[in-house]
Chains A and B, each alone.
Chain A
Amino acid sequence: MATETVSMNRPKRGLWDGGQSPMNASYGKLMMWFFLLSDAFTFSALLVAYGMIRYSNLANETAVGGLGTYVPSQEAWPVPDMVFNAVPFLHGVHLPLVFVGIMTFILIMSSVTMVLAVEAGHRMDRRAVQKYLLWTIIGGITFLGCQAWEWSHFIAGSDTGISLADGTKFYGANLHVNEYGPQLFADLFFFITGFHGTHVLSGVVLLILIFFNTAVGTYDRRGHYEMVEKIGLYWHFVDLVWVFVFTFFYLI
């Protein structure tokens, strides 16, 4: 009988019956996760479209197995190694994947400094948060600079170029003409890396905002650094997308 009285005073409450957060996460953090999920759908739509269009075109097999020289063709999908093989200051040297490798390294390192900033935020260590946020911002800006170089190189084109129907020479690529292969290859390059670059850019803007807020002590007054955590989630997502872009656009 005594046990019954106790249960009468404290009714049994399920996890989802209210009065507590069942997912043990704040509203803002939860919404950041669902925003990232929706963003993942957008990026996968772009990448899957790339896959589909690539499969609906013939593969360029002029240099299969290291035999023969690679010849770009307007009908066959280009081999990424042969298109993205340039590194700044090394003109004319064939270095496939080296520059994107450097970009990948920069973005992974900026992700590491971002986790370190979040970790410092948990400890309410404002100086450490500032330091690591600054490193993350530098990493993000460096990545954007690399991407700008990659774009301008892609647009300027190779030394050989292609001959157009009217007899003129064309170098590089834009949304209408493309020396590397089928037109959609250039269009998808601009859209996918451009959409990712836009995310990096907005990430850098958000990082600068929270750096400013950290510096003026907003989060110390608030009592927690959760905003750093939320922007951190976004920043890691940008890194995650790059991992997929790197594989599907440059490796395969």
Chain B
Amino acid sequence: MTVRVQEGDFDIGAEVRRITAGRTDIGAIVTFTGTVRDSNDSAPLASMTLEHYPGMTERELAQVEAEALQRWPLQASLIVHRIGTLKPGDNIVLVVTASAHRQDAFASAEFLMDYLKTRAPFWKNEVGADGAKVWVDARETDDRAAERWSKR
């Protein structure tokens, strides 16, 4: 179980190899990668800068991961989130879950992303193609996506 916040890019293949190295009990690996879109609400995007709350970020992500472990029998999980300035097409976030069967890996990866989106203290500041800077607004759809896990 690992949580990392970093400026640099990540290599999905290398991360998965690190998780599976030396073990044969894993039957399913799900990876989710979030990337920077070239537009937000139809406005063209030049770049975005991700700010976070050092300390609380790691703490929240570790807590979300611990909660996933209580709900699903995971053999491994990984959350990597980038900070700093990113351009369209760049990777932002990686979630990897590994379990014996695919249902647990799929469900827990979705859970981790939904909770990360509503709880982890990151903020996106977008720079438009016209040079205008805008703080991204939180989406209600993200709150609803996270809420459905608490109804179970």
Are the chains A and B members of one assembly?
Answer: no
List residues of B whose CB falls within 8 A of some A CB.
none
